[in-house]
């Protein structure tokens, strides 16, 4: 298998943590895609993923799988023993519910703020931003506020349970953790009053898969 990504970036980090959790590190060849240079927007990469985003998992038969949730589902269930996506219908439903909330209430708002209300990754990517976003810094700033509200929501969740989707570490935790990494890149601080979220972040940082991702 091959993974097209860039080390240290939030969404690639999600898949690298999954690979480490599943012990699949040695079975993957990583191919670096230079995001600041807009390599992911060029024809060679668009032939792999027409949406121009990373990461992408390429299987040995040439199948390309993009989107972190889809990649996680594949990798977690590859051995028939899922540990991150749930084993019962109830577990799967709750994990997917919280996974969706992690993206819509944290990762996506941070991304909109970072790419449209800050310089983002630099000048090379400016031509690839949608024209309708030009001058909409206020909208980006509102998304920053939404991301902070998302942090407060997950803090509330973690006041009543050890992990984002319940009693067990799951892909929802990986996504929230990566969202907080992204927020750090964008200089969006976790509110001091979010003590449960801050404690959870420290706990997750101690996991071997997070300390030493693939």
CA distance 108 to 97: 15
The pLDDT of residue 130 is 55
Contact 71, 15 (CB under 8 A): yes
CA distance 130 to 136: 11
What are the residue ranges spanned by the domains of the chain?
A: 2-77, 89-207
Dihedral pair phi/psi, residue 171, rounded to 5° = -65, -25
The pLDDT of residue 142 is 87
Q: Is the dihedral of CA 97, 104, 36, 212 positive or negative?
A: negative
User: For residue range 131-152, what is the model confidence (pLDDT) as tens digits?
Assistant: 555 556 677 788 999 999 999 9
CA distance 9 to 36: 11
The pLDDT of residue 89 is 98
Ranges of the chain whose pLDDT falls below 50: none
User: For residue range 40-52, what is the model confidence (pLDDT) as tens digits?
Assistant: 999 999 999 999 9
Half-sphere exposure at residue 180, Cβ-oriented, CA atoms within 13 angstroms: 21
The single residue listed with the structure tokens 């943590």 is 17
CA distance 44 to 58: 14
The pLDDT of residue 99 is 98
Question: Model pTM?
Answer: 0.93
- The separation between CA 202 and the C-alpha centre of its own chain, rounded to angstroms, equals 18
Strand pairing class (29-32; 56-58): unpaired
The CATH class for the domain spanning 89-207 reads mainly alpha
Instruction: For residue 110, give the H/E element and its range.
Output: helix 108-116
Q: Pick the closest to residue 168 from 89, 103, 92 (CA basis).
A: 92
The pLDDT of residue 199 is 98
CATH of domain 2-77: 3.40.30.10
Contact 117, 140 (CB under 8 A): yes
The pLDDT of residue 157 is 98
The pLDDT of residue 125 is 58
The pLDDT of residue 140 is 75
The single residue listed with the structure tokens 């191919």 is 31
């Amino acid at each position: 298998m091959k993974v097209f990504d860039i080390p240290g970036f939030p969404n690639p980090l999600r898949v690298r943590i999954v690979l480490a959790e599943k012990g699949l590190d040695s079975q993957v060849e990583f191919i670096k895609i230079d995001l600041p240079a807009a390599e992911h927007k060029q024809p060679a990469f668009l032939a792999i993923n027409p949406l121009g985003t990373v990461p992408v998992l390429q299987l040995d038969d040439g199948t390309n799988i993009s989107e972190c949730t889809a990649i996680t589902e594949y990798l977690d269930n590859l051995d028939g023993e899922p540990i991150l996506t749930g084993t019962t219908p109830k577990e799967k439903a709750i994990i997917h519910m919280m996974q969706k909330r992690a993206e819509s209430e944290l990762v996506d708002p941070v991304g909109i703020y970072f790419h449209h209300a800050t310089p983002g990754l630099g000048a090379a990517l400016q031509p690839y931003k949608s024209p309708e976003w030009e001058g909409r810094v206020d909208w980006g700033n509102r998304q920053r506020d939404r991301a902070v509200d998302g942090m407060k929501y997950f803090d509330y969740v973690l006041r009543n349970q050890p992990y984002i989707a319940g009693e067990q570490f799951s892909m929802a935790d990986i996504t929230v953790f990566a969202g907080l990494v992204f927020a750090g890149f964008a200089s969006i601080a976790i509110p001091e009053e979010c003590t449960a979220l801050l404690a959870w972040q420290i706990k997750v940082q101690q996991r071997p898969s997070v300390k030493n991702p693939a």
